[in-house]
Structure 1
């Protein structure tokens, strides 16, 4: 039976903590909201758990239930089908959904660049994308890594036909390279790359990581998303959710140890993996706050970068459709720079 990590907001209202965020009025009945993550609880989900634990969602009049996901594509589908109010996913799944007729839109970013990449053991002899020629890469069937790989090849003069891609379950990405079954696998910063690093260290081995954004594929990373219906019918709810969530982002950026502790408190099974959770958050924080976020505030989406992201996805699937960029994203509901 699938384990659903459903977490309800604590009832205690905590205000202040020196962060200076204005909040809405917590009034009568709280509005029930479901926020679906992209996978099981992990470091990059910390801001949502912080906002819940500190009572910031409740202060905005929201009763937020945080549930696990089963991959970004499934999360996007869940939001599109009304199973969740909000979700998070790598931007590629959002763009593909929209291009295929879905009604999900990115409403804020959780990173100025993508965390998609491949990694493995240094002994495989891979240091650059060109080194992937003649190698075996393990990638899950629906992984965005599969969608972005052709763009990585083009940007680095790599013959993708010389790369052997094998399809494995997402839970086998790390073990496939540790066993030597693959030279590389789809491991992401802020997620399972931290697991690879720890498990390799136990074997006395070092790792490498090739991130697409570091090698010429300048696309967006993880996005917060919502359905058009929610944006049109309850704009105030969207603003309140984002305000509390990005308050959680700022708290975790300033107090990472406390952020990690909160996630572990709310997900006790992670206690044995505190080192992984901290690395996941540190890697997430690296891509969270860039020049545009400093200028415009957390989550801001640039049109030219969104266009590049869209073009990579549409080309990967040979989709010919000309939708306005505003169909894929909006900055309308972001809290802005404080």
Structure 2
């Protein structure tokens, strides 16, 4: 994970932004770039024969997490064991899915037969590098670094229009993650 100051070489006012939920404008040449996830949109384009290049924010010191588990404070107080079991089941689910990728793709296809099984297999394989990082291998699946949450808030404050900082210690907890031995 790289960190350091983020420097923009161009202001956003010099970039014409277009909102498009699909890759169609990229494919037809109407736009030069688009945001997306390397684990699905980029792979889909490459499977269709288009050459792509990914500009990963993490390569420029922008680190964040794509997924999180949320619950209400009342649930944490009234049934902390439920939260622990849910998080532990999520961890076991990730570990099982990545240890049994062919079975995982089969289950996806049963639930969503319109999906392309080869695409789903490629996505699962590619996404493993984001799930199983050096940090998560050392600390356990779904473990996270509070410093990344702090960096995310800094970036959103500097570039994303976040007007009011929050005490990030009050918005996350690692207390419900199973110990690496408990996985």
1:238 matched residue in structure 2: 83
Matched, 1:182 2:31: yes
Larger deviation: 216-225 or 276-285? 216-225
1:135-146 paired onto structure 2 within 5 Å: none
Using the TM superposition, give the Cα deviation of residue 291 of structure 1 relative to its aligned residue in structure 2, in angstroms. Answer: 2.3
Q: 1:267 to 1:293 in 2, by over 3 A?
A: same
Out of 253, 274, 280, the residue aligned to residue 117 of structure 2 is 274
Structure 1 counterpart SS, 2:69? strand
User: Distance between the aligned counterparts of 1:283 and 1:230, measured in 2?
Assistant: 34
2:110 and 2:72 mapped to 1: Cα distance?
31
Q: How much does 1:259 deviate?
A: 1.4
Asked if the contact 2:64–2:149 (Cα under 8 Å) also holds between the matched residues in 1, the reply is yes
Structure 1: which 5+ runs fail to align? Answer: 1-111, 114-151
Do the aligned partners of 1:197 and 1:207 also contact (CA within 8 Å) in 2? yes
Deviations 1:137-173 (A, max 9, x none): xxxxxxxxxxxxxxx9x435343332211122x2x2x
TM-score, scaled relative to structure 2: 0.85
TM-score w.r.t. length of structure 1: 0.49
C-alpha distance in 2, partners of 1:329/1:318?
18
Counterparts of residues 68-87 of structure 1 (less than 5 Å): none
Deviations 1:37-69 (A, max 9, x none): xxxxxxxxxxxxxxxxxxxxxxxxxxxxxxxxx
Q: Is the 8 A contact 1:298 1:336 kept in 2?
A: no
Looking at structure 1, the residues matched to 64 and 147 of structure 2 have their Cα atoms a distance apart, in angstroms, of: 10
Match of 1:167 among 1, 5, 19: 19
Instruction: Give the equivalent residue in structure 2 for 1:96.
Output: none
Matched, 1:219 2:71: no
Q: Which runs of 4+ in 1 moved over 4 A?
A: none
Superimposed CA distance per residue, residues 228-269 of structure 1 (whole angstroms, 9 cap, x where no aligned partner): 222222211111111112111111222222211121122222
Q: Distance in 1 between matches of 2:174 and 2:46?
A: 36
Q: Does 1:192 align with 2:16?
A: no
Asked if the contact 1:246–1:298 (Cα under 8 Å) also holds between the matched residues in 2, the reply is yes
Match 1:304 to one of 138, 147, 163: 147
Q: RMSD between aligned alpha carbons?
A: 2.2
Question: 1:269 is paired with a residue of what secondary structure?
Answer: coil
Mapped partners of 1:232, 1:191: distance in 2: 37
- Secondary structure in structure 2 of the residue aligned to 1:207: coil
Partner of 2:163: 319
Instruction: Report whether the alignment pairs 1:284 with 2:127.
Output: yes
Cα distance in 2 for residues equivalent to 1:192 and 1:228: 35
Give unpaired runs (5+ residues) of structure 2.
Answer: none
Higher percent of residues as strand: 1
